[in-house]
Homo-oligomer: A and B are copies of this chain.
Amino acid sequence: MEIKVLKDILGANEQIAERNRQLLDSNKVFAVNLMSSPGAGKTSLILETIRKLKGKTKIGVVEGDISSTLDAETIGKEGVPVIQINTGGECHLDANMLSSALNNLPLQDIGLLLIENVGNLICPAEFALGEHKKVLVSSIPEGDDKPFKYPLMFHKADVVLINKIDLLPYLRFDTEAYSEAIKRINEKVEIFPISCATGQGIEQWVSWLLSQMSRRYGGR
């Protein structure tokens, strides 16, 4: 009975997600759903990405949080359009929330939409938003056992960023074993080690983004 309700919710969500994707495509907006544990570095990644892509593409941001507007305020200082979604307790964004956000963004002026999901390795994995790619921001201090403990999230990701690699000297973390564990769950995933603190690896991440955008919509 309860499972049936959940199926209906997910079914309705998929339909709205598909409509969101059509709206994004008709405006040639490439959308990325950023997911992670709390504090893995989604907001820092968005800031680095905005700075690196200045002059190359126009960026819009959707910030998902339970209640605060902290991250949206930080992002807003970069001069890009940003919409805050407060989920009011829900542990993930859903397609309907993104739909409201899209209605309030200047889509015709945006080439890349970065969507920061609620910080959580569980619930966001189940809800499509209409994004083109799912990106999981993992981080060294969380430990290298996470693919075993949150397999669905690693399975669904198109890209896994391994953030905070500047902390590798101070922590036990086997990057090679970690990458192998992810590949066993998801053999098509792309993995980029990065540090938003030092900028290491950001170039590769941004090149991947641009190549995906150009593959989908041609040069822009």
Residues of A within 8 A of B (CB): 2, 5, 37-39, 65-68, 70, 89, 91, 118-123, 126, 139, 141-143, 145-146, 148-152, 164, 166-167, 170-171
Contacts and interface: CB of A to CB of B under 8 A. Distances in A.
A141 B39 contact: yes
Given A142-B38, A142-B39, A123 B91 contact: yes
Oligomeric state, in number of copies? Answer: 2
Contacts of A167: 141, 167, 170-171
A164 to B, nearest CB: 7
A67 B68 CA distance: 31
CB-CB nearest 9 A-B residue pairs:
A39-B142, A141-B141, A91-B122, A39-B143, A37-B38, A68-B148, A37-B37, A38-B121, A68-B149
Given A37-B37, A167-B170, A89 B149 contact: no
A58 to B, nearest CB: 27
B146 A67 contact: no
A183 B90 CA distance: 24
A122 B38 CA distance: 10
Nearest to A149: B68
A150 B2 CA distance: 27
Contacts of A139: 39, 141
Nearest to A90: B122
A171 B170 CA distance: 11
A146 B91 contact: no
Contacts of A66: 122, 149-152
